[in-house]
Amino acid sequence: MATSSDTSEQNNVKSRRPAESAFKQQRLPAWQPILTAGTVLPTFFVIGIAFIPVGIGLLYFSDEVKEHVIDYTYCTKKGDTIACADYIRQTNVTLDKCICEKDFNLTEDFKAEVYFYYGLSNYYQNHRRYVKSRDDSQLLGRLNQPPSSDCEPFAYDHDDNGVRKPVAPCGAIANSLFNDTLKLYSHDHGDAVPVLRTGIAWNSDKDIKFRNPDTSAFNGSLQAAFANYTKPANWAVHVWELDLNDTNNNGFLNEDLIVWMRTAALPTFRKLYRRVDHGKTGFRTGLNRGLYTLTIEYNYPVTDFDGTKSFIISTTSLLGGKNPFLGVAYVVVGTLCLMLGIILLIIHVRCSKSTTEMINVNPRTPYS
């Protein structure tokens, strides 16, 4: 027999039943689409009619972009017969810089703004540990704390005097910074094509994600601000020496560094390297057809992982660089929808029952 105490305990136990509401009792009104020929067929035709013109427009803008790609992975050292890829792998001799040249002919004028890119293949910047290997706090100029553990094993290294110091910028991404030097010479002008090193990074990156440390306590010297840090192991210069000719494009604000730190999503990618300076005489309208020479200071190894390197000259369109994939995708999807719409329409006309027959269906109606 239950006592009064047992009854009070049962009353104090919180009920697990959901509240009596339409949402918690799953009594909300619902809509279930009924797929009929009258709704499905117009959808297929509308998608097909809309997608095909859009795809043709995208292909048109993509074809407006002019490109010239030069693969220099195995270019030969100037004045020698050895490939620079093999030369920089040698460790038994004291190496000087490996310079190689590639002559080529532009068969058409590159009008409007012209951009230079470097391209890499079989390079997985999207690897999880690689993407994480950075210190965003450090890249904001906060040098009053040790490097993030995400940077290991590229967080500390020995400087030129053998003293172990933290690295700036730390991490695998910064340590693998692309460091080939690419210069384009015009035979018609007899000089290098003038380029700009700025304006190649995203404004959101340069204005928000990267900052140099406060130099007010170091008489404005960026070198003094980084005095307690050393360069990444694979770098030939310190971070404050990336662009000594432009203090606004140096340190963590160097745009080559910023472009590289934005990791690529695919193993074959290209990154913006330079912009042609169209304010100079002879290049105001673009890059004219003719003979050119690409001079490469070959430093970056890629053959060890079966990668390739290339130099790309390109213009842009209203939609950016050359990319026919999106246009092809729109045309293919639109064409498939139209074909399916036509096929289903034929099946509907030839095989479907009339509305009267559908209404008069009963359990004894023969199946056919």
Q: Each residue of 205-253: pLDDT tens digit?
A: 999 999 999 988 788 889 999 999 999 999 999 999 999 888 889 999 9
Instruction: Give per-residue pLDDT as tens, 93-146.
Output: 456 789 999 999 999 999 889 999 999 999 999 999 999 999 999 999 999 899
User: 10 versus 103: which is more confidently predicted?
Assistant: 103
* pTM of the complete model: 0.81
pLDDT at 106: 93
Q: What is residue 332's predicted lDDT score, i.e. its pLDDT?
A: 97
Confidence of residue 338 (pLDDT cuts 50, 70, 90): very high
Q: How far apart are CA 315 and CA 313, in angstroms?
A: 7
CA angle at 67 for the pair 289 and 74, rounded to the nearest 5°? 95
- Answer whether residue 355 shows pLDDT above 60: no
Lowest mean pLDDT among 18-27, 318-327, 352-361: 352-361
pLDDT, mean of residues 185-201: 93
Question: Would you state the pLDDT for residue 34?
Answer: 78
- Tens of pLDDT along 60-92? 999 999 999 999 999 999 988 999 999 988 855
When the pLDDT of each residue in the chain is averaged and rounded to a whole number, the result is: 89
Given this model, what pLDDT does residue 360 score? Answer: 64
Do you find a cis peptide bond into 169, omega within 30 degrees of 0? yes
pLDDT for 159 equals 84
Per the CB < 8 A criterion, the answer to whether 193 and 185 are in contact is yes
pLDDT for 348 equals: 84
Provide the pLDDT for residue 20.
86
Q: Which residue has the higher pLDDT, 367 or 294?
A: 294
d(CA 269, CA 119): 6
Position 162 scores a pLDDT of 86
Which residue has better confidence, 319 or 306? 306
Rounded mean pLDDT of 39-46?
91
Flag whether pLDDT at 280 surpasses 60.
Answer: yes
Is the bond preceding residue 194 a cis peptide, omega within 30 degrees?
A: no
Please provide the distance, in angstroms rounded to a whole number, between the alpha carbons at the two ends of the chain. Answer: 68
Using a pLDDT cut of 90, give the percent of the chain over it.
67
Mean pLDDT across the stretch 260-281? 95
**What would the pLDDT profile of 144-153 be if each residue is shown by its tens digit?**
899 999 999 9
Average pLDDT over residues 2-12: 56
Q: What strands, in cross-sheet order, belong to the sheet with 195-196?
A: 67-71, 309-314, 115-120, 269-276, 195-196
Residue 351's alpha-carbon distances to 34, 40, 173, 306, in angstroms, are 19, 16, 62, 57
pLDDT (0 to 100) of residue 164: 92
> For position 17, what pLDDT does the model report?
83
pLDDT of 172: 96
Task: Give the pLDDT confidence score for residue 4 in this predicted structure.
Answer: 57
The CA-atom distances, in angstroms, between 156 and each of 168, 233, 311 are 9, 9, 33
Q: For residue 237, which phi and psi values (nearest 5 degrees)?
A: -130, 165
What is the per-residue pLDDT for 110? 93
pLDDT of residue 257: 97
